Structure formats: C-alpha cells, structure tokens
Amino acid sequence: MDISFLLNALNDAQREAVTLPEDTHALVLAGAGSGKTRVLTHRLGWLTEALGMAPWNLLAVTFTNKAAAEMRARVHQLVGAKAEQMTLGTFHGIAYRLLRQHWREAGLMEMFQVIDSDDQKRLIKRLLREMGLDEAQWPVRQVAGFINSNKEAGRRAAHIDPGQNPYVDTLLRVYRAYEQQCAARGLVDFAELLLRAHELWLKNPQLLAHYQSRYRHILVDEFQDTNSLQYAWLRVLAGGSGRLFVVGDDDQSIYGWRGAQVENIQRFSEDFAGVRIIRLEQNYRSTATILKAANTLIAHNSGRMGKNLWTDGDQGDPIRLYRAFNELEEADFVCRQVESWLEAGGSRSEIAVLYRSNAQSRVLEQALLRHGIPYRVYGGLRFYERAEIKDVLAYLRLLLNRDDDASFDRVINQPPRGIGARTLEQIRAQAMQQDVSLWQAAQQLVDTGALAARARTAVAGFLALIDQLSSACRDLPLEQQVMTVISRSGLQAQLEKSKSEQAQSKIENLDELISAAAQFRPDGEPDDAPPLQAFLNQAALEAGEHQAEPWESCVQLMTLHSAKGLEFPFVMMVGMEEGLFPSQQSLEDPARLEEERRLCYVGITRAQKKLVMSWCEQRRWHGKTLYPMPSRFLRELPPDCVEEMRPKASVSPAWRQDRALYEESAAFASRQGDGLKHFAAPSFRIGDRVRHARFGEGIVIGLEGGGEQARIQVHFDAEGSKWLLLSLAKLERA
Ligand code: ATP
Ligand code: MG
C-alpha cells in the first residue's frame, strides 16, 4: 500500500517522529508552529496504515473539544472512517465516557450529573451558609480553589490531616461537606471526573488491565499543560506495555495557575525508559519577523529548556504597535484594521482579536456591531453558561433527578412564583435537619402544613409543575422535551413579557438550545444513558467552550488562553498594558510573570502573516479609570521588528471630540450595567479639558447621574483623578 501521503508533507525531524518504531515512547519537544500537532495526527495515521494497528487501540488526548474535533477531521482526511474508531477527546471527555460506562465500579449513581464551575460555586455558597461561615471571610472562589487543587493533586478530604491550622481545618470541613453533598446528589465536578477516573483504575485492577491492553498507544497534545493528576492517569493507563507519544512546548505552558506542571516534561523521560526525544526547529506558521519577535520575547524567561526556532519564510511586515487614547478608541481601531484587511481581499475568518481577560470583549463587541462586522466570541460568552440556558437545563435536570439541589435552588422561584427568601430558608433548614434533599424537604413542609398558606400553595405549585413536566416529557424526543420545558415552565412567557432587546436575544438563545437538542448525538462510544441525560452532561462539559456554530465568516474574539494551538493569518493583541497584561496579580510574583510572558509568546505565535498590538493610555476597568503604562512585553520585543503607528504627540485628538461615539458607547455600557450608567452629559463631555479653581486643569474622564446628582470625574494634571459634584465644582472649559 502506498503510504507516502503520510510522509510527503513532513520534514526530516517530523518524519523521524512519525515513523518511530512501534515500541518506543516519544517526546516531541518543540516551539510554536513547528508542526507538533501535525506530527501527532500523522503518527495516528502511521500506526494504523503502516504498522497495521487497529484504530481502537489508539487513544489521543487534546486540550479542548474544538481541538479534538479538528484532530478528528484531520485524521479522517488521512485514514478515512478508521478515525471514528479511535478514541479522541479531551481528558475530561474521555474520563466522562469511562465513568458513564463503569459508574458502578466508580462508586457513582447511574444518573450522575456533571456540574460546571458555576454550579460548583452555587453549591459551595449554599454549604457555607449552612455551616454559618461568612462569605466575606471565606470567598467562594477561594474555597472552590482549595477543593479543586486538592482534587487535582489526587487528595480527597480524607487524605488531608486536620489540625494543621484553623484556616485549613475550616476549608477541610467545607471540602468534606461538599464531598458528601456531591455523593448524595450524584454530582460530579470537573476535577472529580479526572479523580474518579483515576481511582477507577486503582480500585479495579481487572478493568485497568482491560484498558491497558486496549489502549496500546496513547498520544497527548499540549503535554506541557497536563496537571499531576492527568499525568498520573496517563502513567497508570500506559502501565508496562502502553506506549506514550507526547508533544509539547515548555514555552507555552500557561495553565500553571490551574495546577498544570511543566515539570511533567522532565519527569516523563525519567519515568519511562528509553524515551526518544525529538526536537522540531523549523517553524512553518509565521513570518520571520513575527518569529523573531516571539523568540526575543521568550528569551527573557529563565529556566527554559531552550530551543532554536527558525523559518525560511518571508521577512513579512513589521509588527504594528498602536497607542490608543482609551479602550473605546482601541476598539474602533480594531474595526478599522478589520475593514482594511477586508478591502485588501482578506476574509473575516482570517482575523483573531486576542485579549487577556474576557471582560475586554464587551467594548470590542460593541464597536464591531456598530461597524456591522460579524464576529464571534470564542470561549467568552459561554452558551451553556448563560443564565437563561442554565435555567432551562436546571428544569431538565430536576426532571431526571429531583434531589439535584443546585437545580432546585436555581429554579424554585424562576420565573418568580412568590416563593420568598424566608420560605427558602425554611426549606433549607428542613433539609439540613432531616438530612434530605431540598425537594424532599419542600414536600415534607407542604405535607405537614408547616408553611404559611400562600407559601405553601406556591411551593406545592412548583412541585406539581415539575411532576407534570416530567410526565409530559416522558417518551418525547429530546428536542420536544426541551421545548416543553421552555414553554410550560413559564420561562418563555416571562421573557416575552419583557420587550427589551436583551429578552429578545435570550429567546433566540433558547431557540438555539432547542436546535442543539435536535442536533444532539451522543459523542463517541455508544452511551447507554437516556438522551436527556447524555445531553445535559454534554452541556456541562461544553460549558466554557465555544458553541458548535459555523464561524467561517466571522472575526474571532477570544482570550489568549483559548487561542492555544490555533493559527490565524491576522492577529491583533489588544490591551497590552501593565496591570492587564501582564496581569496585576502577576506583577509581584516572578513565576507568574514568566507564565504571563509565555502567554504573550502563545499570542504572538498565533499570527501567520500580520500582527498588530495595541495599548491604551486610559482604560475604564471594573468601574475605575486607569492610566496604565504600556506592557513590559512591548519593550521586550526587538525594536527592528516593531513599527509604531502613531507618534506620541498626536494622541487621537479627533477621536476625543467624537461625541456621538462616546454617547453611544456610554448608552451601551449602561445597558450592560457598567459603571457608566445614567450617562447624561450636562455640559461637559468625556475628553473635554476643564479648569477647577483649586485643582487646576484636567481632562474629563467620567460622568455619572443627572440633574442635581450629576457627578463628574476629572483627571487633573497635578492632582490625579477626582470625582466632583457637577453642580458645585464650578468647572470651566480650559
Ligand atoms: P502550536 O505549538 O502552536 O500548537 P504546532 O507545533 O502544533 O503549533 P502545527 O499547528 O502542527 O504546529 O503546525 C503549524 C502550521 O505549520 C500548520 O499550518 C501546519 O499545517 C504547518 N506545517 C507543519 N509542518 C509542515 C511541513 N512539514 N510543511 C509545511 N507546512 C507544515
Ligand atoms: Mg499544536
């Protein structure tokens, strides 16, 4: 058989990696864009086509569902239908499937539900309340972090010694209560998926032996971002006979904050005998200029494994650096850049706008809307995490499992049906006292007449509604179950009553959920769960990832983190400012600062042809106005690769006077509940220069309220920024 198609499009080092003998472990350690992912897919092809391996003996792990789908498509091109018989997925997805198949051995209930981080936080919040812990002192995020990082290190509450200090002891108590709740209610969070799957191996040697003989080859992309639990899982699965083929880049390790351990790369060659290490040094993705910038930047990090990445590609254009007046003008600049790319014959899907924090997308979205440029936010506005979607999912989950407290809590008064906080407290107290679920507690209170008459009717009404929905949905196709819940729960009517634009878009989202249900096919191996359950679990797994929509003709907006592994002809990195990127929290921690630098390296190396970076002199951020310094990463780029687009002297005066733009932005911001609410400029506008009798001259940077209450924020040249009551400030135009 002619298998040259597997090797033709590879260089020597890549070919060496792809064609390694069957019984070797391999580590492909190489920089961005050097073809690691390509090598991995071709290796899958090589194993089946040249070495005659059965496709079901192959397991490949990638980082996101999208990357997994892309890999499947690429492998399909190489080996056709065999791709369907390989196990390709994310760690979480693969663990989920395993647990579904072996729920009993894993000690789970059959109807277990995957919960996303939002559900997890709700649950923790409730536990804190029940335990009488003040949330101000025990922030939910911190508690969740404690639980997740312990799980990721393989530690259950029972493994942690109490008595270390009162702080840890309290967290430990919450962890224990959380574990009990999850076990009683059949809830499985993301970290739990992995930990359970790992324990499944350890507790069931026969099952492990079965999978060890099945997965003879395990291939892992983005290996630098595996955490210790994932690594342990791989190690156990490989056992003595499985062969690992891992590809990664230490310079792209960007999940240290979530427990990823780049040290796994070093450990790998110690833990497995005879690992072949292959380095790829030629970059095929970017222009020489972009590559040089990336190499120079990352050289500022210490303790690298070191590589020498080169390209024989074109020099390309210099990297353009733009200094914007503020984030609104920056967004406008992004739109102009998109427009000129399109004018030059490019397409929208070739463009990615990357930012450090999800919160940056709103202003960009608004500008793109205004310019009529279709865009899609990838990984940011998470479809399955939108409130209206989660409401429907919560109803659906209650249909399957009445004891799902998180869902009960979410929708008992959504849409509002007159069940107040006091009644809820009563239900919670009853649940605690009797050690039953909220559902059962509510039932008891209704039965015993312990509730006030009105509350009782309302609660009984809710319980009856769920029971009715449940029987109405029985035997209906999935899509109609979703439709039934949307219409009969009252959620739809509630949205229809409100004529706002926002409600309209929520209704559209619900329609999208119905289509998602209609199109839903359980992923991968046959899943014996009822379709509704499989659908709900898939939804939880996909929360946090991009929705399955065609995105060909859209500009893509995403965080730098979610851009990993992807490439685009034209990349814009916005918000290159100290305190934003590198992030505020990283400024004082050298290790985190290096992680931010790697993130910057990831961003730069996404670009194939054109790279533009921008920063703002002034930025409205979480309700405050900041005057950031340009990011240190800009200074770390080689000067001969960068071209500033605007000299310092002429900071966008024209734009500053563009009042319509500001007002529109402010109106948008207030619709979005931003701090610029009630923007009603009396006689000054943002950007105006003003004089104050005592503080001297300054520039208007914020306006708030109206009439007597109108306040104005001025950044004074000498005194910094201050809020003043407009009616008293006696400001003059300067
Ligand atoms: P990252 O570190 O960003 O994940 P990577 O090392 O996985 O990058 P790939 O995405 O596999 O790199 O490859 C980068 C680009 O180079 C892709 O467009 C790929 O098709 C192309 N490429 C890889 N190897 C070759 C080759 N031998 N000849 C031509 N193009 C190649
Ligand atoms: Mg890759």
Does residue 222 have an active-site annotation?
yes
Burial of 564 (0-12, 13-18, 19+ CB in 10 A): buried
**For residue 415, is the peptide bond before it cis, meaning its omega torsion is within 30 degrees of 0?**
yes
10 lines ligand 1 (CB under 6 A): yes
pLDDT reported for residue 693: 83
Query: Who wins on pLDDT, 654 or 412?
Result: 412
pLDDT reported for residue 705: 57
Does residue 404 have an active-site annotation?
no
Q: Given the structure tokens 């192959």, which residue do they identify?
A: 58
Quote the ligand 1 centre to 565 CA distance (angstroms).
10
pLDDT reported for residue 666: 43
603 lines ligand 1 (CB under 6 A): no
Domains of the chain with bracketed CATH:
4-103+194-282 (3.40.50.300), 113-185 (1.10.10.160), 298-379+550-645 (3.40.50.300), 383-543 (1.10.486.10), 653-733 (2.40.10.170)
pLDDT reported for residue 505: 67
Cβ partners under 8 Å of residue 660, min gap 6: none
Q: Distances from the Cα of 690 to the Cαs of 117, 316, 701, 709, in angstroms?
A: 47, 45, 11, 19
pLDDT reported for residue 707: 56
Quote the ligand 2 centre to 71 CA distance (angstroms).
10
Residue 124 has pLDDT above 50, yes or no: yes
Separation of alpha carbons 38 and 33, rounded Å: 10
Q: Residues within 5 Å of ion ligand 2 by Cβ?
A: 36-37, 565
Residue 421 has pLDDT above 70, yes or no: yes
Condensed to tens digits (0 to 9), the pLDDT of residues 267-285 reads 998 999 899 999 999 999 9
Any idea which ligand is nearest the CA of 286? 1
Percent above pLDDT 90 for the chain? 55
Residue 527 has pLDDT above 60, yes or no: no
Query: pLDDT band for position 646 (50/70/90)?
Result: low
Rounded to two decimals, what is the model's pTM? 0.73
> Phi and psi at residue 304, in whole multiples of 5°?
-85, 160
Of 116, 152, 192, 221, which one is the catalytic site residue? Answer: 221
456 lines ligand 1 (CB under 6 A): no
What average pLDDT does the segment 211-233 reach? 94
Q: Distances from the Cα of 90 to the Cαs of 65, 232, 262, 294, 668, in angstroms?
A: 6, 16, 18, 28, 38
Quote the ligand 2 centre to 564 CA distance (angstroms).
8
Condensed to tens digits (0 to 9), the pLDDT of residues 56-78 reads 999 999 887 778 888 899 999 99
CB 491 within 8 A of CB 415: yes
pLDDT reported for residue 710: 65
> Phi and psi at residue 604, in whole multiples of 5°?
-60, -45
What average pLDDT does the segment 580-609 reach? 94
Mean per-residue pLDDT of the chain: 86
Any idea which ligand is nearest the CA of 598? 1
Any idea which ligand is nearest the CA of 62? 2
Tokens linked to 541: 């797994």
Query: pLDDT band for position 122 (50/70/90)?
Result: confident
- End-to-end alpha-carbon separation of the chain, Å? 81
Query: Who wins on pLDDT, 69 or 21?
Result: 21
Condensed to tens digits (0 to 9), the pLDDT of residues 541-576 reads 765 443 334 444 789 999 899 898 999 999 999 999
Query: What is the pairing mode between strands 243-248 and 26-30?
Result: parallel
Quote the ligand 2 centre to 100 CA distance (angstroms).
29
Among 347-356, 587-596, 657-666, the range scoring the smallest mean pLDDT is 657-666
pLDDT reported for residue 730: 80
645-651 long-range contacts, CB within 8 A, separation 24+: 645/320, 645/321, 645/322, 645/323, 646/322, 646/323, 648/323, 651/323, 651/325, 651/617
